[in-house]
Amino acid sequence: GQNIDQPTEMTATEGAIVQINCTYQTSGFNGLFWYQQHAGEAPTFLSYNVLDGLEEKGRFSSFLSRSKGYSYLLLKELQMKDSASYLCAVNGGNYQLIWGAGTKLIIKP
Amino acid sequence: IAGITQAPTSQILAAGRRMTLRCTQDMRHNAMYWYRQDLGLGLRLIHYSNTAGTTGKGEVPDGYSVSRANTDDFPLTLASAVPSQTSVYFCASSPGTSGSNEQFFGPGTRLTVL
């Protein structure tokens, strides 16, 4: 079957660094996305990885290891506005995305 | 520039009633999608359309139908609503269907079926 696993909830402190992990098992692979979703709002695109390695974009970075079926999203210099759910999604090769249940990130002052 | 809009924002519906959720995008995207999002579950694909005039079934299509008469509009119809269809519904679009095409989401419709 096809499966994407993420932790349900994480807590971090303002100004700190947090790493949100995502593991996947899919029949095909054509890239991995990270989205951010604030409560009551729509998901918005953060990053896309298709090759192994780290992609850095400001305070956010995303890492992919295809051989391990593993990705993480790294958030640096956390701000209160980063409190949101972070969704991992895999393009399984049939142009449709398979979504994880999301990780709710709580930032404390 | 609106991007992608959905209507209504929220709706309470009696079981057995027919309901159409509207979705319109002005980005000239080829692909459009309907998802439902339930607490504790990931986004689940209901139906999709890779281009105007074509549609396909996603992971949870039963009880729903779609049409894609033109590029901009992708309505989702519940023929006879049931309480298990209570959910938040998101419409999304992408320029194409190749791997790197990110999906842009509408604001969602909160539907309650009683």
**Prior bond of A7 cis (ω within 30°):** no
- Segment A25-28 long-range contacts (CB within 8 Å, at least 24 positions apart): A25/A1, A25/A69, A26/A2, A26/A69, A26/A90, A26/A92, A26/A93, A26/A98, A27/A2, A27/A92, A27/A93, A28/A92, A28/A93, A28/A94
Helix (H, G, I), strand (E, B) or coil at B81: coil
Question: Chain A closest CA to B37's CA: distance in Å?
Answer: 9
Question: What's the pLDDT tens digit per position in A10-42?
Answer: 999 999 999 999 999 998 899 999 999 999 999
Residue A94 pLDDT more than 80?
Answer: no
Of B40, B42, B45, the CB nearest to A96: B45
Contact residues on chain B for A66, CB-CB shorter than 8 A: none
Contact A43 B41 (CB under 8 A): no
Count chain A–chain B contacts defined by CB atoms under 8 A.
49
Question: What's the pLDDT tens digit per position in A43-58?
Answer: 999 999 999 999 999 9
Mean pLDDT of chain A: 95
Contact residues on chain B for A102, CB-CB shorter than 8 A: 42
- Categorize the per-residue pLDDT at B62 as very low, low, confident or very high, splitting at 50, 70 and 90: very high
Q: Does A77 touch chain B (CB under 8 A)?
A: no
pLDDT > 70 in chain B, percent: 99
Provide the pLDDT for residue B96. Answer: 84
Q: Which residues of B27-63 are buried (b: 16+ CB within 10 A; e: fewer)?
A: eebbbbbbbbbeeeebbbbbbbbbeeeebeebbbbee
Contact residues on chain B for A50, CB-CB shorter than 8 A: 99-100
How far apart are alpha carbons A54 and A61 in whole angstroms? 7
Provide the pLDDT for residue B1. Answer: 59
Q: Which of B2-11, B31-40, B60-69, B96-105 has the lowest mean pLDDT?
A: B96-105
How far apart are alpha carbons B41 and A85 in whole angstroms? 12
Within 18-37 of A, beta carbons closer than 8 Å to B belong to 30-31, 33
Of A4, A45, A98, the CB nearest to B102: A45
Contact B104 A45 (CB under 8 A): yes
Question: What's the pLDDT tens digit per position in B23-53?
Answer: 999 999 999 999 999 988 889 999 999 999 9
Provide the pLDDT for residue B97. Answer: 78
- CA A89 to chain CA mean position, Å: 8
Helix (H) or strand (E) holding B57: strand B56-57
